[in-house]
Amino acid sequence: MIWQNVSEKGSFFATTFSRLFKDQSGAWRSGTSFDPNDLETLMNVICEGTE
C-alpha cells in the first residue's frame, strides 16, 4: 500500500507491505513477513511504485 501524507513541509509518500493468506481453517489472515520465494514479486511491486 502506498500512502500519501501531508506535513508542514509538504506531502510525501510512505509504504507498507502485507500479504493475504488463508490459515489452516480456511480463514483469511494478513501478514507482514515474506519468505524467499516472495521476494522477487515484492521487488517488482516496489519498482512499480517508484514509477
Instruction: Note the pLDDT of residue 13.
Output: 86
pLDDT by residue for the chain (51 residues), tens only, comes to 788 899 999 998 888 889 899 999 999 999 999 999 999 998 998 888 776
Beta bridge partners of 14: 3
Q: Give the three cell numbers for residue 50.
A: 517508484
Which residues, in sequence order, are bridge partners of residue 6? 11
User: In 3-state terms, what secondary structure has residue 11?
Assistant: strand
At residue 40, the pLDDT reads 92
Enter the pTM of the model.
0.53
- pLDDT of amino acid 51: 67
Domain boundaries, the chain: 2-49
pLDDT of residue 15: 85
According to the model, what pLDDT value does residue 46 have?
Answer: 85
